[in-house]
Amino acid sequence: MIKYRCSSSAIRVLTPYTAQKAHLDGLFSQSQQTANIQVSSVFASQGSEADFIVLSTVRSLPKRDLMDTPSRKWMRDHFGFISDEHQMNVALTRAKHGLVIVGNSNLLALHSMWRNLLAHYKQDGCFIENWID
């Protein structure tokens, strides 16, 4: 986003985990270009908005480790916080102008809420797979 002249102060990164928040705060503070990017937990972002949100879903697994029909226990063990639909609703509704979701779409598609959201974004041409710039 910064590459395309979006002000870093207009960007907020949301993560479900405080350890990732601390890690990202440290990384962003090392560069003047990213020092103004706000990082917060999804929980702490309730009631606030930002022009642009980057949501990190954090969890990932190689495709070979994914289950075709995962059990509830498998889902609890491998999805964690991102399976909490209330908290994900909070995360997905904080952006005023743009939302970027970073995650493993193969894993996310195992959960009905995420599967429906991914299908919607694909249908609207808003889904980029394996994107690295």
State residue 37's pLDDT score: 93
pLDDT at 4: 66
Q: What is the mean pLDDT of residues 19-43?
A: 92
| Ramachandran quadrant class, 82 (left: phi over 0; alpha: psi -120 to 50; beta: rest) | alpha
Average pLDDT, the chain: 89
Confidence (pTM): 0.87
- Cα separation, 54 vs 100, in Å, equals 5
Predicted confidence at residue 3, as pLDDT, reads 67
Which tokens hold the place of 108?
Answer: 């996310």
Q: How confident is the model at residue 132 (pLDDT cuts 50, 70, 90)?
A: low
Residue 2 is predicted with a pLDDT of 67
Mean pLDDT of 4-33: 90
Instruction: Measure the CA–CA gap between 115 and 120, rounded to whole angstroms.
Output: 9
